[in-house]
Chains A and B, each alone.
Chain A
Amino acid sequence: MTMRIGVVTFPGSLDDGDAARAARIAGADVVRLWHGDPDLHGVDAVVLPGGFSYGDALRCGAIARFAPVMETIIDAARGGLPVLGICNGFQILCEAHLLPGALTRNQHLHFRNRDQFLRVESTDTAWTNGFTAGQEILIPVKNGEGCFVAEERTLDQLEAEGRVVARYLRGNPNGSQRDIAAITNEAGNVVGIMPHPEHAVEALTGPSLDGLGFFTSVLRALAGAPAGAQAGGHQ
């Protein structure tokens, strides 16, 4: 059976179309979800796309976290539903306390928009089990508030538990602590990533096809063993 991936549109979402296309190219059925509708319509996984939900008023992601659809997603994520937050979606996941830490203004105050090398550090998540541990990938980054910060204790815990999912390579675009580009929750079903895998799924428009791995990973996780059980670093 084809897996159904939901993509949420908030007021101000920009990359929901690209996220939906990426999921479709990976082989999923895509269900567009609306921020005001708490029903997840039976999807098997959810993507929170990039953009500027609610105009980033107050703080990035602060208001989206209280959208009706998020109340349902927060419960479902705690119950194991795979959720990927990209850029603004990552900020929303932190504001919702599904992921630790926070995303703050880039240290140099400039918006950064470029192709970015990352190293995939953890393949024990629903969204990265198709990568090899240590694999280098190239996907676009574009953010003004992508600097990941957390208490030292939290950072140590993330490292110790293998929850740093990806790190910036060859230059840190925003000053993120310990070059962190993506993290996961304890269960490995919720991943937040600041760069944009959904923009690297087609040769015509992306710097690589590396982003597709996130979407094929979740399909694999849904089809087979629970995330992490089969990952172990093989392709």
Chain B
Amino acid sequence: MARVVVDVMLKPEILDPQGQAVANALPRLGVTDVSSVRIGRRIEIEFDGTPDLDRAREIADKLLANPVIEDFTIHVHEDATAEVA
């Protein structure tokens, strides 16, 4: 299994009204120590063979993210085992 994970986030300077709406709802849960929430998107791509990070990066840059407003990061997901914190 060769899974590449692409995380797409709005650039810090772009307003994230969705995240803001969530942040504004948190006090209703009794959460008062959160100053900001930002919402992104996680995309998992499974390659047939060895994961090709360069191609994954190209896919992300061309399609998965809009570089005008979004940043992305890429990493290989090691199956089942190493869940990172």
Query: Is the contact region of chain B dominated by helix, strand, or loop, or is it mixed?
Result: mixed
When the two chains form their complex, are residues B63 and A66 in contact, meaning their CB atoms are under 8 A apart? Answer: yes
A58: contacting residue among B10, B14, B63, CB under 8 A: B63
Closest B-chain residue to A105, C-beta based?
Answer: B17
Least CB distance, B22 to chain A, in whole angstroms = 11
A78 within 8 A of B: no
B68: contacting residue among A58, A101, A108, A175, CB under 8 A: A101
Q: Which residues of B contact A208 (CB under 8 A)?
A: none
Least CB distance, A144 to chain B, in whole angstroms = 11
Q: How far is the CA of A104 from the CA of B13 in the complex (A)?
A: 13
Given contacts A58-B63, A66-B63, contact A150 B68 (CB under 8 A): yes
When the two chains form their complex, are residues A107 and B69 in contact, meaning their CB atoms are under 8 A apart? Answer: no
Closest B-chain residue to A106, C-beta based?
Answer: B17
Residue with the highest number of chain B CB atoms closer than 10 Å, among A100, A107, A109, A149: A149
Closest B-chain residue to A154, C-beta based?
Answer: B68
Proximity bits, A45-62, B CB within 8 Å = 1, else 0? 000000000000011001
B15 within 8 A of A: yes
B64 within 8 A of A: yes
B53 within 8 A of A: no
Could you say which interface size class chain A belongs to?
Answer: 10 to 19
Q: How far is the CA of A95 from the CA of B70 in the complex (A)?
A: 12
When the two chains form their complex, are residues A102 and B63 in contact, meaning their CB atoms are under 8 A apart? Answer: no
Q: How far is the CA of A104 from the CA of B10 in the complex (A)?
A: 10
Residue with the highest number of chain B CB atoms closer than 10 Å, among A104, A108, A109: A104
Q: How far is the CA of A59 from the CA of B69 in the complex (A)?
A: 11
B66 within 8 A of A: yes
Q: How far is the CA of A189 from the CA of B15 in the complex (A)?
A: 31
B21 within 8 A of A: yes
B18 within 8 A of A: yes
Proximity bits, A77-113, B CB within 8 Å = 1, else 0? 0000000000000000011000011101111110000
Using a CB–CB cutoff of 8 Å, the interface residues on chain B facing chain A are 10, 14-15, 17-18, 21, 63-64, 66, 68-69
